[in-house]
Structure 1
Amino acid sequence: MRVISGSEKGVKLKTLQGHTTRPTTDKVKEAMFNRIGPYFHEGKVLDLYAGSGGLGIEALSRGCDFAIFVEKDSSQYRQMVENIRACRFESKSETYRNDATRALKAASKRGLRFDYVFLDPPYHRHRLSETLTKLSSEGLVNDEGLVIVEHVQDVHLQGTYEKLEQIHNDRYGDTVVTIFQMKEEE
């Protein structure tokens, strides 16, 4: 796995091997960022269920200002911190070893709002509907901000979650990337 493009293009990212890890392939990551970018002039990112941090790191490499990475597993968390350090993004990021629900609650209390939220949970241990609803109801996504969800094809997501509206759904083999956009306040 590597950084595909931007300031840290080509930097190899380490991942943990095993049945509990499923890093986003370079092919899917490139297609995902071509759909939402491909480059950014600024933006705040939340990489929830971050794993090795590949999605948030890619967003920073492509021009986002700041990213918050959340990973519950301690081994994955250590690997993620090493990858952020390898890309010299420590000053542009915060890392938390926490579960998604607690992380969203903490972000809400801090009044944080994100332009890009990446959700790539363990495929069969997810609570995507609950997470998408909470992102919308807690106002954690800026107007016109995007929530990018990676999941398997047997996971069916609604077209809307409060003010989050599905705008794309692309399949890459067994992987599906569904993109939601926050509707503007009227």
Structure 2
Amino acid sequence: MGLRISGKRALQTPAGLGTRPTPGRVRQALFNILRGQVEGCRWLDLCCGAGTVGAEALCHGAAFVAGIEIAAPACRIIRANWAKVAQPGQSFQVIQGDARKLLSRGLGLDPFDYVYFAPPYEAGLYAPLLPLIPPLLKPGGTLIVEHRSSHELPDQVGSLLRFDQRAYGQTALAFYRHLGEER
């Protein structure tokens, strides 16, 4: 199975793994909102599934993209897709593992400008993982949470303050700013 991202580039998607690629119109809207802000940034695609959002970040000039995904077959596809779109001077890392365990013990990576968090909607990962995200962000960094439009997220989680919310049919994006220095 495949899908297209910026520039009409075709990517592979993992078949039968229960991954849910972020809808194309949501990705397009996200990167329109962030226009001009992604170039040169550090981006984390958390619970990255097919890795399409990380691939878009690379297409929009992110300097470094990291992805966390639990399914090993999906990680192989993500690496291949990101290698296809990465340009000279860009780098990426795909980490295979359970996000709860990895975030609880720390990633050992420099903080990110953006974290995109799109867990499986029914996996119950929002409440346990949101409080673990601030140390991953630079002060002033942005967390973007993809969720069902019908699912309410808190206005604040520790040093994360929601500053925007957008809905696209059944999918919504919540934008949080990291206000503190929780490192």
Fold-level match, TM-score > 0.5? Answer: yes
Q: CA deviation at 1:184?
A: 4.9
For residues 59-109 of structure 1, what are the alpha-carbon distances to aligned partners after superposition, in whole Å with 9 as ceiling and x for unaligned?
A: 121111101111101222222122112224696011111111222245x36
Counterparts of residues 150-165 of structure 1 (less than 5 Å): 150-165=146-161
Counterparts of residues 158-177 of structure 1 (less than 5 Å): 158-177=154-173
**Alignment CA distance shift 1:102-1:32 (3 Å):** same
Superposition misfits of 4+ residues, deviation over 4 angstroms: none
Contact 2:19–2:50 (CA<8 Å) still a contact in 1? no
The 3-state SS of whatever aligns with 1:13 is strand
TM-score by length of 2: 0.88
Distance 1:111 1:121 in 2: 21
1:68 and 2:61 correspond: no
Instruction: Please tell me the residue identity of whatever aligns with 2:178.
Output: M
Structure 2 runs not aligned, ≥5 long: none
TM-score by length of 1: 0.86
CA RMSD of aligned residues (A): 2.0
Contact 1:39–1:63 (CA<8 Å) still a contact in 2? no
The equivalent of 1:144 in structure 2 is 140
Higher share in strand: 2
* Count of aligned pairs between the two proteins: 178
The equivalent of 1:181 in structure 2 is 177
For residues 19-42 of structure 1, what are the alpha-carbon distances to aligned partners after superposition, in whole Å with 9 as ceiling and x for unaligned?
A: 822111111101011122355331
For residues 148-174 of structure 1, what are the alpha-carbon distances to aligned partners after superposition, in whole Å with 9 as ceiling and x for unaligned?
A: 111112321100011101011111111
* Identical amino acids, percent of aligned pairs: 28
Instruction: Please tell me the residue identity of whatever aligns with 1:80.
Output: I
**Alignment CA distance shift 1:129-1:36 (3 Å):** farther
Distance 1:84 1:14 in 2: 10
